Amino acid sequence: MPAKRSPARRPTMKDIAQRAGVSESAVSFALNDRPGVSEITRDRVRRVAEQLGWRPSTAARQLSGEGTATVGLVLARPADTLGVDSFFLQLISGIQEVLAERHLGLLFQVVEDVDDECAVYRRWWAEHRVDGVLVVDPRTDDARPDLLDELGLPAVVIGGAPDARHPGLSTVWADDAGAMASVVGRLYELGHRRIVHIAGLPGLAHTERRIRTLRAEAERRGLAEVCSVTTDYSDAEGAAVTRRVLEGGVLGGGSPPTALVYDNDVMAVAGVAAATELGFSVPGDVSVVAWEDSALCRMVKPWLSALSRDTVAFGRTAAVELTSLLDGGPARAVGVPVPGLIERDSTGPCGPCGA
């Protein structure tokens, strides 16, 4: 027989009942603030429970109809796209702040694509693993809301637009459209007329929203030479697209734009490097704005102007919505503050441009 050190035993309600001299039910009532026991007994039970270091077994609790006290989050991005992006860890740490308070666990999974993600939801649901989920990276044509509806799994969509077709889902959304409009406005003010938007993954709801807004704003202002190019968010594509754009291969007329808006910080940094290599000075020849602020933006020269928002708070808000949903609250759509443009050194007036 292996001399395995016998681990401590977990106390159960039965232990408490015995010690306190009452029935298990009484213990249950006492510990769950249900009527049916006197205050005196309740106190005694609570004390014993504390003293024994008792915590309810989530499994047992769940089996008798309560929830699992766990929410799920799945990230559908290939491992390498995940790398440098600081967004998710920040988001998650915001989420955790709220969940930890309520002793809710976070079940986390990384998968390759949305189909796998759906499979995970099904499995979690069938295995009774989670009470609800947080959905990130909503898409324009997204199978997930329908699925979650079908499964009856409470969910909040992070970064989606409010969606009338799924009244059961909460949404926490940032006003990308507003932010994009303000960026374009500011660039216009600085004299820029030729703008390229190096966007993120096509199909992502916020990517499409930004692209639409850019187009709308351009039309409104009568700018013909404005466009978006989608990428995979990687530094490699950021650099490649930047080269293509600056060599005149994208905008009409064969000449380069005077302002570039990148959908994340990683691409912006890579883009600036690429631009510099091609002999473009930033912001002399071309202005650069990064969507998403982070330490990265202050690690390169020139420091990048960036759209900054409080990602941790974003996560917190999402978690709060989910807990409220779990408490039986109504599904809602709540907005978070519009990202603000922090102007550092990578943006400037359009000099001898527009020629």
Partner DNA sequence: GCTGTGCACTAAAGCGCTTGAGTCAGGTCA
Partner DNA sequence: TGACCTGACTCAAGCGCTTTAGTGCACAGC
> Which listed residue (115, 281, 299, 329) binds its own copies by CB under 8 A?
299
CB 55: neighbour CB atoms within 10 A? 10
- 266: partner contacted, choices DNA, its own copies, none (Cβ within 5-8 A by kind): its own copies
Residue 352 site contact among DNA, its own copies, none (CB < 5 to 8 Å, cut-off depends on kind): none
Looking at beta carbons only, is 64 or 355 nearer to its own copies?
64
Nearest-angstrom CA–CA distance, 19 and 189: 75
Q: Is 27 in the site for its own copies (CB under 8 A)?
A: no
88 binds, among its own copies, DNA, none (CB under 5 to 8 A by kind): its own copies
Residues 189-218 interacting with DNA (rule: CB under 7 A) = none
- Under the binding rule (CB under 7 A), the answer on residue 38 touching DNA is yes
One residue of 18, 51, 57, 281 binding DNA per CB under 7 A = 57
For residues 287 and 192, the answer to whether their CB atoms sit within 8 Å is: yes
85 makes contact with its own copies (CB under 8 A): yes
CB of 110 to its own copies, least distance (A): 5
Q: From the CB of 175, what's the least distance to its own copies, in Å?
A: 24
The residue to which tokens 């960026």 are assigned: 183
Distance CA 346, CA 282 (A): 6
Omega prior to 283 cis, within 30 of 0: yes
DSSP state of 176: H
Q: Which of 28, 170, 213, 305 binds DNA (CB under 7 A)?
A: 28
Asked if 319 and 99 touch (Cβ cutoff 8 Å), the reply is yes
Q: Which of 3, 5, 6, 64 lies at the binding interface for DNA (CB under 7 A)?
A: 64
Among 170, 207, 234, 287, binds its own copies (CB under 8 A): 234
Give the residue among 351, 132, 81, 34 at the shortest CA–CA distance from 236: 81
Write out the DSSP string of 194-261.
Answer: -EEEE---TTBHHHHHHHHHHHHHHHHHT--SEEEE---S-HHHHHHHHHHHHTTSSSGGGPPPSEEE
Query: Distance between CA atoms of 7 and 176, rounded to whole angstroms?
Result: 53
| Residues within window 118-137 making contact with its own copies, judged by CB under 8 A | 122-129
Q: Applying CB under 8 A, which of residues 15, 41, 88, 114 lies at the interface with its own copies?
A: 88
Contact call for residue 103 and its own copies (CB under 8 A): yes
Find the part of the chain contacting its own copies (CB under 8 A) among 15-23, 37-45, 62-70, 217-225: 62-70
Q: Which of 105, 147, 163 is nearest to 323 (CA)?
A: 105
Terminal-residue alpha carbon distance, the chain: 86
- Tell me which of its own copies, DNA, none is bound by residue 354, counting a contact when its beta carbon lies within the kind-specific cut-off of 5 to 8 angstroms: none
| Cα angle 132, 208, 321; round to 5 | 25
Coil vs helix vs strand at 108: strand
Q: Is 352 in the site for its own copies (CB under 8 A)?
A: no
Residue 226 in tokens:
């404005």
The minimum distance between CB 96 and DNA, in angstroms, equals: 24
Work out which of 152, 222, 254, 279 binds its own copies, going by CB under 8 A: 152
190 burial (CB, 10 Å; 0-12 / 13-18 / 19+) is middle
329 close to 289: Cβ distance less than 8 angstroms = no
Give the footprint of its own copies on this chain (CB under 8 A). Answer: 5-8, 10, 53-60, 62-63, 68-70, 79, 82-86, 88-90, 92-94, 96, 100, 103, 105-111, 122-129, 149-153, 168, 234-236, 266, 269-270, 273, 276, 294-296, 298-301, 312
Give the footprint of DNA on this chain (CB under 7 A). Answer: 10, 12-14, 21-26, 28-29, 31-32, 34-38, 40-41, 54, 56-57, 60-61, 63-66
